[in-house]
Structure 1
């Protein structure tokens, strides 16, 4: 039986540069947000596996012996070439009482957990009776990698519980991380969880949640940046719903209609991503005012490009106007057409200016978080290192 209580977390993600251009073979930079998903793992002495995600209204438990009876058909191909099969997912839906086309967050979270539990235990040995609680600072459906952070937390927790990876947190330490080899295993299983939720994910979101910092993504190849300073940002959700599929199709249509006009714009977005990568990797831990000026210029140029290719939105224009009135620079992040935007905060940005900007943005009906980019990836925590809000959400005394 698993005898320890553990808390671990994984970050969300934002796209810094390269949105949409990445679909056409260009470079994109993805960064880890210091808005995190937390998982508390405890032993369960009742012969059950219990999972609770209060944020999406999920509370389920299953008899461990019943689950183990299912696992014969749940081996997974760890080289990433074999996705969860339709038959496997249909079996899990029937077992959990989930309708065939159900796509609510709690349904997908349940399927991802069941698949990962069965496949990991089939590959690495029995996962003991467990009680898991997951709580997140990330909104769902906002393009901020909430499902990947969940999958990474699940992978790390289940692999630790069955002994496939170590438990690196030593007495007296506030945080600890796994070895590179162990992180690779966590990431591999998290990608399988993302496949359950999204079907054909790129792998970027779970890689960011695993390793943190910043990653370069191009044509299926993921490469971590050598080093990235922690940069403060204001993250704003316009709450305007959008369809990534429709927006991607719209960019493709424009590219086919006006190739001589659109291709140079995509090339320029690619150049912005590469320029930003060079700038970030050359920055000291405490960037200079000149460094921030360059980052702000790249934000401004890229935001104009994204509007040109057709993924802007009046809500995003308003976001940029509001923050500009307070001397700040913003751009959309993700698919565009609404969704989220990021605003760079210099170290000398006054508290008064930031609070005034947040007040004006909230007056537009937007939701704001002050956070940072370049955050660490999946991490083990001692209870003493977590704030009261996180402990309360996880049911820690």
Structure 2
């Protein structure tokens, strides 16, 4: 009996988080931490989930998951029309396997009843949750890629990028799309809006990638208390309004960072200056806990630079991924786990045996 295997990397945002939800360009880089999915057909028509990372196993009838996806679609429409913490909580729910059920249900809604079949699904991931490493984006990509292969969905009618975006909406509410596109494409990915308001994704592996990998370190400060969607719902109003000065500053720093990466080699001192400036704006936005700010000040005092990568955190002492540039082995960094994984790795791999 055939087994479908999908594998996709996580990501970190180099520049543009939060501001991207208001049209700003955003740059992200894939990280060699992987989400993997194994999918095998079953003869009894049931859907068996094995999620060892969550210590969860479950068996569902297909009709239940299709109905689950319909209900979540309605919750997302409510959130889209009235984005606030309350409507987001209704969208996200409390089920530990929420996102997996959403992905399966979405696929089932695209499959004719006569083509439905049972399967066993196993998911394992190295990517930290609620930490800015793109765990849900990689999960969405691997799930939708494997399920699309199982049900032989036409890629022209059901593009993988769109299917994964739908799943990401059920996790984050109004995602930028950068997470799952980076997992799908790999390397460094940019999202930019054209003059007509449409967003386009570009892989820098096809252009001129000058990422100073030797000078970059990634640390995990611990999972934030709040999910990305909760943080966005609580803070997005601070970047709204015509001529918003904080949004304008974030936008300006992102464009400067992009321009520096196009130089060969990028000037390290200038990169550090931009990273410090963007971090200062994230602190003004209120998503960097005080303990992490103290660590970043120590890094800056030593001559380096650092910034939160991703949503950050609203409370507690943890805020996910921390990008560090040209810094010594400071005692303040010893409290965090260094992510010893390659950057700018290839994207989705899909196979069948």
Q: Establish whether TM, by shorter chain, passes 0.5.
A: yes
CA contact (8 A) 1:138 1:146 kept: yes
CA contact (8 A) 2:304 2:324 kept: yes
Alignment of structure 1 residues 302-317 onto 2, 5 Å: 302-317=278-293
Query: Which one of the candidate residues 271, 275, 295 is aligned to 2:271?
Result: 295
CA contact (8 A) 1:319 1:330 kept: no
Query: Which one of the candidate residues 11, 14, 26 is aligned to 1:13?
Result: 11
Q: In the alignment, does 2:121 pair up with 1:132?
A: yes
> What is the alpha-carbon distance in structure 2 between the residues aligned to residue 309 and residue 87 of structure 1?
25
Query: Which one of the candidate residues 149, 160, 167 is aligned to 1:160?
Result: 149
Deviation at 1:325, TM superposition (A): 6.6
Name the counterpart of 1:394.
Answer: none
CA contact (8 A) 1:330 1:341 kept: no
Deviation at 1:372, TM superposition (A): 4.1
Deviation at 1:330, TM superposition (A): 1.1
Deviation at 1:135, TM superposition (A): 0.9
Q: In the alignment, does 2:177 pair up with 1:193?
A: no
> What is the alpha-carbon distance in structure 2 between the residues aligned to residue 146 and residue 225 of structure 1?
20
Deviates more, 1:312-321 or 1:41-50: 41-50
> What is the alpha-carbon distance in structure 2 between the residues aligned to residue 207 and residue 269 of structure 1?
22
Alignment: residue pair count: 323
Deviation at 1:251, TM superposition (A): 4.8
- Classify the secondary structure of the residue corresponding to 2:96: helix
TM-score between the two structures when normalised by the length of structure 2: 0.74
> What is the alpha-carbon distance in structure 2 between the residues aligned to residue 209 and residue 191 of structure 1?
12
Name the counterpart of 1:244.
Answer: 232
Name the counterpart of 1:177.
Answer: none
CA contact (8 A) 1:112 1:196 kept: yes
Deviation at 1:368, TM superposition (A): 3.5
Query: Which one of the candidate residues 182, 196, 201 is aligned to 1:223?
Result: 201
CA contact (8 A) 1:49 1:130 kept: yes
Deviation at 1:155, TM superposition (A): 0.7
Deviation at 1:302, TM superposition (A): 1.6
CA deviation string 1:44-99 (max 9, x = no partner): 3554322211112331223xxx526986x8999xxxxxx934599xxxxxxxxxxx
* TM-aligned CA distance change 1:102 to 1:382, over 3 Å: closer
* TM-aligned CA distance change 1:324 to 1:238, over 3 Å: farther
Name the counterpart of 1:336.
Answer: 312
Q: In the alignment, does 2:90 pair up with 1:109?
A: no
CA contact (8 A) 1:316 1:341 kept: no
Name the counterpart of 1:67.
Answer: 62
Name the counterpart of 2:42.
Answer: 44
Deviation at 1:156, TM superposition (A): 0.4
Q: In the alignment, does 2:333 pair up with 1:361?
A: yes
- Classify the secondary structure of the residue corresponding to 2:73: coil
> What is the alpha-carbon distance in structure 2 between the residues aligned to residue 87 and residue 342 of structure 1?
30
Name the counterpart of 1:174.
Answer: none
Deviation at 1:216, TM superposition (A): 2.1
TM-score between the two structures when normalised by the length of structure 1: 0.67
Deviation at 1:14, TM superposition (A): 2.4
CA contact (8 A) 1:303 1:331 kept: yes
- Classify the secondary structure of the residue corresponding to 1:371: coil
* TM-aligned CA distance change 1:235 to 1:195, over 3 Å: same
State the Cα RMSD in Å. 3.9
Bigger radius of gyration: 1
